[in-house]
Structures are given as C-alpha cells and as structure tokens.
C-alpha cells in the first residue's frame, strides 16, 4: 500500500479501480494542399460541427451543474468563432498551402501563448481555453472520439482536468477524481463540489496506476493506492456512513431551517437561469437568493432585449410560485465578458469597469434591465440586488434611475409592483465599512463572500500559487461579515450571505450567532446546510 497526502476539494469517500485519463496525443503533420479553398471549406465544416457540440454540451451540462457552470461551453463557442482566430487559420491554409489540422494547431498554440503572456488574469485564463478548443477542432477534423469512455464505475486520475472535461464525465460512473494539478478555488473544483464528486488535487499520479484499486478520503485529503485489508475495511465503513448521512438528508425535505434554540432563517438557492429552478425545488429551497442575470448577456452577439429579459425573469418568478426571487442586476466585467459591449482592455479588470459601474455610466442598458425586472414583479415576489456598491452616492444614482423607470412604466400603463425590495451586495471592504449608512437606504444586504474575501486579502482566489495563503476564514473577513449584519439590523435591513461561505457548514453556527437572516447556496447544498442549521445554536447559553 502507498499513501499520498493531497488537498481535498470535495468531501466524501470512494473506493474502486483507477482509470487514467490522459489526453490522446494527436500527431499533427504538415501536409501540402493544392486545393486550398476546399481545405478552408473542410475547416469551416469542422468549426460548425465543433460549435454545435459545444452548444449541446452546454444544454446537457445545465442539468448536471447549472447555468453558471455550464457557461464555460458558451465561452468556448465564442472563442471558436472569434474573427481573429478564424482568420489566422484560414490565412495559413491559403498562404502556406497547409492542411487544416496543421493550421489549427499552429494558430491555437500562438493564441494560447499570446494569452498566457498577458497581465490581465481573464485573458491568462483564456490560454488554456484556446488549447481546449484547438484540440476539439483537430479531433473533429481527424474524426477522433471526443472523450474516453469507460464501462465500470471508476476513480478518474489525471494530470489535470479542464472544466469542459469535468462536466462531460458520466456522473453515474465517476466515483471520484484525483489530479496532480489544480486549485481548490478553481472553476473545476467548484464543478466537483456542485456535482457532489469526491475530489483531491496535489497527488503525484502516474499512468501505470491505471486499473489498480484505490481509495479516496475526501475528508482528510488522503489517497490510498492498493489499500491493505485493514485500510480498505476502514474506508468502506467511512463510505457507508457517508451514504447513510446522505440518505438522512433527504428526510429533511419539508423541515424548517430552525436552530436547536429556536432561531429560524431563510435558506435560498443561487441560480443562473430557469433551468436551475428544478434543482431548487427538488432540494426544497425556500426561494432564490441570487439570480445571476449576467448569463442572459453572455454567449451572444448583442444585448438581450427588454422582452427577452422579461420572459426569462417572469418564467423563474412564476415557477417559484410566490417564493422570493432576488435578481442581481448585470454583473459583467472582470472574468465575465461580452465582446459586443466593447469594453476596453484593463490592466486589473477585477478592480476596473464592471458591474454597477457599467450600469451607471450606460443607463440605457441599466434601464432596459430594470424595466424587465419590474415587469416580472407583477407575477410573483421579486427583489432587486445591486452588485459592487462602494458608496452611498452610487445608491442615490440608482434610486433616481429606478424612479424614472417606475414613472415610465406607469405612463405606459404596464403593471408592476411598487413595493419591490431593493438591496445591495456587500462584496467590497468599502461597502462593509459604510454598511451603517447603506442600511438606511435599502431593504436588505446580501454578502458576496467570494469577492469580499479576495478584495480584503488582496489575493486572486483563482491563483493556485496563493492557496497556501488564501484563507476565507480569516478573522478580518468574519469581522466584516459581523459588522455588516449588525449595521444592517440597526438600519432596518435584513442580511443574507450568497457567497461560497454560505455553504461552508463549519461556519453555519458562527453565522447564526452573528444574527444572519438568510443563506443562499447552490441547490445541492440546501439540505446539508439545513442539517447544519438544525444542529446549531444561535444564541448564547443561559447561565
């Protein structure tokens, strides 16, 4: 038996045979082509087929991991059709008389290197995406299968897994996945948690492990290769306890989110669109605490119209049947791009022109969205949440625009509810520090712990080199959260948490004792968090 210590990115225990997932090495040879136009046509046909694959993968993945996580396929489709990338390939075929596979390989490598050398973190991340889409194109051109297939349930081992690869794994046959590379805060890690697949990183995997028996302990981050009988028995017992715990969670459906000492809070879900609502309802979510409206703007060539947005919001609101639906206004910029907005390149986009800053300087976009949201309010219980707020002045400008929108809707005799709740996301240290002032102007706060953590610690949470320093439980973060809750209540606002810390059950009792009113988590975490609430105390013990 060999034992390796890695990092856990999702708890759970798995026992089974190992399946090495290695990318198929496709040797791309340079070939001389006489009929270049026919070769360009062959490339275009492969591109169309690849884009169709990506669109289908998006639709299939929504069912597994929700709209937000499936959006990676929309990004890949956009890159696949990028004008500069396409021109580079077609130009190489025509001027160098080379085959499409070779032109794609060269263009993919050049664009990947170009992105990798950029300072902008968003574009750096696109480096791996360019490799991914180039490999897809080459597979289509050469007629190779897209993914490894496997018959029996297995523990997947790999050097690394792209998000696009992770969501394609057959969840019914994947016991766990273990990689050598990766970050505990990466997109792939978030996908693993969403899919409830035990996962480890930082394990020095080898291809010759393929077929061997192994055990994964996601609770401790331990990997056992060829476990002995004693270890195997211990892991089997631990796995059975986990499975029983999951079964017991199902019995919590219909139960209240109430602490041992009687405090009841709201437990909502984060969604990216209508397709996520089924998961909210099946997991007994009490409402939608974060509707990420930016996914209506991504993966398209132009702004969504008022009518398109209205229909999307209305469908979610009607399906939630009177339960609160909190719609976050456009939060685009930083790592979320829409080329048609023609946003200028920034040295530090996470600190740049994004979210409410775009809305306040382009009020035509903002008013269109607000009109759609207020129209949807006539069909259920809607609340509006504004992201990336840093000042009272921003809030005053928002309220002026909201008043204009209401006046226009009234003049147009379009029905809407005048008492729609309005709130702000507390995701910057500035907002937390002036939360006493903000609370007097809103109905609620929702604390976005992901951005609040990285802005407070001055660390990019996607940077794997910072994992050893990145601490979302840092005392400074918890102090800002406590301050926000206390200031919110003093000012008459209720306070929720919608970031990943809301689903961290090791902090559930801490948040209850701070006085939080609502937690919004991914649909799959609703029942585990409900269980944690029902096992926690919210008030100091009486002497």
Contact yes or no for 317/327 (Cβ under 8 A): no
Sequence-distant (6+) residues with CB within 8 A of 256 are 264
**Whole-number Cα distances in Å, 206 to 24, 225, 296, 543:** 16, 11, 42, 58
The residue length of the chain stands at 543
- Is 427 annotated among the ligand-binding residues? yes
Torsions phi, psi of 458, nearest 5? 55, 45
- Is 450 annotated among the ligand-binding residues? yes
Residues 294, 332: Cα–Cα separation, whole Å? 6
Q: Is 187 a catalytic residue?
A: yes
Residues 367, 374: Cα–Cα separation, whole Å? 10
- Is 237 annotated among the ligand-binding residues? no
Residue 534 parent element (H or E): helix 526-534
Angle at CA of residue 103, ends 101 and 106, nearest 5°: 105
Residues 16, 4: Cα–Cα separation, whole Å? 16
Residues 128, 324: Cα–Cα separation, whole Å? 39
* Active-site residue identified among 58, 76, 187, 359: 187
- Is 180 annotated among the ligand-binding residues? no
Residues 255, 42: Cα–Cα separation, whole Å? 58
Residues 299, 83: Cα–Cα separation, whole Å? 15
The SS3 assignment for 263 reads: coil
Residues 334, 354: Cα–Cα separation, whole Å? 6
The contacts found for 94-98 with CB under 8 angstroms, 24 or more apart, are 94/36, 94/37, 94/40, 97/32, 97/33, 97/34, 97/36, 98/30, 98/31, 98/32, 98/33
**Whole-number Cα distances in Å, 256 to 84, 89, 266, 286, 485:** 54, 58, 9, 10, 22
Closest CA to 173 of 16, 40, 367: 16
Residues 8, 196: Cα–Cα separation, whole Å? 13
N- to C-terminal Cα separation, the chain: 52
* Active-site residue identified among 58, 76, 359, 498: 498
Annotated binding-site positions for Mg(2+): 427, 451
Which residues are designated catalytic? Answer: 187, 498
Annotated binding-site positions for phosphoenolpyruvate: 292, 328, 450-451, 461
């Amino acid at each position: 038996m060999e034992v390796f210590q890695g990092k856990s990115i999702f708890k759970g225990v798995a026992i089974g045979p190992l399946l090495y997932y290695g990318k198929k090495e496709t040797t791309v040879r340079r070939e001389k082509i006489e009929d270049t136009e026919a070769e360009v046509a062959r490339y275009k046909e492969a591109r169309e087929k690849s884009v169709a694959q990506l669109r289908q993968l998006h639709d299939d993945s929504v069912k597994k991991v929700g709209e937000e996580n499936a959006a990676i396929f929309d990004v890949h489709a956009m890159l696949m059709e990028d004008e500069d990338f396409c021109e580079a390939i077609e130009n190489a075929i025509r001027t160098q008389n080379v085959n499409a596979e070779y032109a794609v390989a060269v263009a993919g490598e050049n664009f990947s290197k170009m992105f990798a050398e950029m300072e902008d973190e968003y574009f750096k991340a696109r480096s791996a995406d360019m490799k991914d889409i180039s490999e897809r194109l080459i597979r289509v051109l050469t007629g190779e299968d897209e993914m490894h297939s496997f018959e029996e349930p297995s523990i997947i081992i790999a050097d690394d897994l792209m998000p696009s690869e992770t969501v394609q794994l057959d969840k019914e046959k994947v016991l766990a996945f273990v990689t050598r590379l990766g970050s505990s805060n990466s997109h792939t890690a978030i996908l693993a948690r969403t899919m409830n697949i035990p996962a480890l990183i930082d394990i020095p995997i080898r291809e010759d492990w393929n077929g061997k028996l192994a055990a994964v302990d996601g609770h401790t981050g331990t990997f056992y290769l060829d476990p002995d009988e004693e270890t195997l028995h211990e892991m089997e017992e631990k796995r059975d306890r986990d499975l029983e715990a999951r079964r017991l969670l199902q019995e919590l459906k219909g139960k209240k989110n109430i602490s041992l000492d009687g405090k009841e809070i709201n437990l909502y879900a984060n969604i990216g669109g209508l397709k996520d609502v089924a998961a909210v309802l099946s997991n007994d979510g009490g409402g939608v605490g974060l509707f990420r409206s930016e996914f209506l703007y991504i993966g398209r060539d132009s702004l969504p119209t008022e009518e398109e947005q209205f229909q999307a919001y209305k469908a979610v609101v009607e399906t939630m049947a009177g339960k609160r639906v909190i719609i976050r206004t456009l939060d685009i910029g930083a790592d979320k791009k829409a080329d048609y907005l023609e946003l200028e390149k920034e040295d530090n986009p996470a600190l740049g022109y994004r979210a409410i800053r775009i809305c306040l300087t382009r009020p035509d976009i903002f008013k269109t969205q607000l009109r759609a949201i207020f129209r949807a309010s006539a069909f259920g219980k809607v609340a509006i949440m504004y992201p990336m707020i840093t000042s009272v002045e921003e809030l005053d400008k928002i309220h002026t625009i909201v008043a204009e929108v209401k006046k226009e809707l009234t003049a147009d005799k379009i029905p809407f509810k005048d008492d729609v709740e309005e709130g702000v996301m507390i995701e910057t240290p500035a907002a937390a520090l002036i939360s006493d002032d903000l609370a007097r102007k809103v109905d609620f706060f929702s604390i976005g712990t992901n951005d609040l953590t990285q802005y407070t610690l001055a660390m990019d949470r996607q940077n794997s080199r910072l994992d050893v320093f990145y601490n979302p439980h840092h005392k400074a973060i918890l102090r800002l959260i406590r301050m926000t809750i206390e200031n919110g209540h003093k000012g008459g606002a209720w306070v929720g948490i919608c970031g990943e810390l809301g689903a961290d059950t090791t902090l559930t009792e801490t948040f209850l004792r701070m006085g939080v009113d609502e937690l919004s988590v991914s649909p799959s975490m609703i029942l585990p968090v409900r269980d944690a609430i029902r096992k926690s105390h919210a008030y100091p013990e009486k002497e």
